[in-house]
Structure 1
Amino acid sequence: MYQHPVAPLPAPRVLTQPMAMELLTADMALRIDTTVCYDSRDPHALSIAFHLLGEEPVVWRVDREMVLAGSLRPTGDGEVRVHPGPDGTLLLRLGPAGTRAVVRCEQEALARVVRETFVLVPQGTEERHIDWGPLLASLGA
């Protein structure tokens, strides 16, 4: 059976940035240390790890283009929504209705990280960084 030649994957590129964010409650804003990560092998998404006291980090994956769009206007669907907040902040609403968390961060700090991801993997080239082999193998191709 003929198999199409597969171009080699670019070397993986990883970006990690610690960042302070705030969990908003009805009464107050609670500072949370986070780590924003980007891995070119998952080229569309940022991972945001929320470091909670005495627990394993809680990790949410957020589309990198959604972050940029959300800095201009409300965007997102389902359990991840992003919209501009007051005074140069960005609000992330994470989770299903009823148990949703609202997290505030400095808009420019997160946008800077996203811009760096586009240097590592330019828009439109994302699929060149994905290893399709395991998926194709699972489909019997």
Structure 2
Amino acid sequence: MSQSHAPSLPSPRVLTQPMAMDLLGPDTAVRIDTSAGYHSRDPHALSIAFHLLGEESVVWRLDREMVLAGSLRPTGEGEVHLAPAPDGKLLLRLGAVGHRATIRCDREELARFVRDTFVLVPQGTEERHIDWRPLLDSLRR
């Protein structure tokens, strides 16, 4: 019996970039070290890791197209909202109502990072980078 061979996946590609962001409070802003990340095996998403003192990093995964759209106009629903700020920054509201954090970052820096992800995995080719074998193997059990 011959087995069909799945097409080979492109080599995984990873991007990471440290970024400084501000956690906005009612009267103050607190600088938080963060890093943006991207892995081509999860081609639709980017991650933002908030490195908190004495704690494990908190990681949010965001749709990369949504981040670009949010840098131009308010977008999002549920626990993720993005909007350009009047000062040229980008505001990210993350979390459920009553437990939201508002983060301010450099809009162009984050948009540039997202554009770099589209160089690694162009829009429309994302599905070719996903390894479906683990899911298919689990369904066959």
Deviation track 1:42-98 (CA, whole Å, cap 9, x = no partner) reads: 101111000111111100001100010001111111111111112111111111000
Q: Distance in 1 between matches of 2:32 and 2:3?
A: 49
Say if 1:26 and 1:2 are closer, same or farther in 2 by CA, change over 3 A: farther
Q: Distance in 2 between matches of 1:126 and 1:5?
A: 20
What's the CA shift for 1:128? 0.4
2:59 equivalent to 1:63: no
Give the letter aligned to residue 17 of structure 1: Q
What's the CA shift for 1:138? 1.6
Residue 121 of structure 2 corresponds to 121
What's the CA shift for 1:2? 7.3
> TM (normalized to structure 2)?
0.95
2:139 equivalent to 1:139: yes
Partner SS, residue 53 of structure 1: coil
- RMSD across aligned positions (CA): 1.4
2:139 equivalent to 1:102: no
Q: Distance in 2 between matches of 1:123 and 1:24?
A: 33
Q: Distance in 2 between matches of 1:78 and 1:133?
A: 31
Say if 1:5 and 1:74 are closer, same or farther in 2 by CA, change over 3 A: same
Q: Distance in 1 between matches of 2:127 and 2:76?
A: 22
What's the CA shift for 1:121? 0.3
Counting aligned pairs with the same residue, the percent is 73
What's the CA shift for 1:5? 3.2
* Structure 1 unpaired stretches of 5+: none
Give the alignment of 1:39-58 within 5 angstroms.
39-58=39-58
Q: Distance in 1 between matches of 2:98 and 2:32?
A: 21
2:10 equivalent to 1:10: yes
Partner SS, residue 139 of structure 1: helix
> TM (normalized to structure 1)?
0.95
What's the CA shift for 1:3? 5.7
Give the letter aligned to residue 113 of structure 1: F
Q: Distance in 1 between matches of 2:75 and 2:2?
A: 44
What's the CA shift for 1:103? 0.3
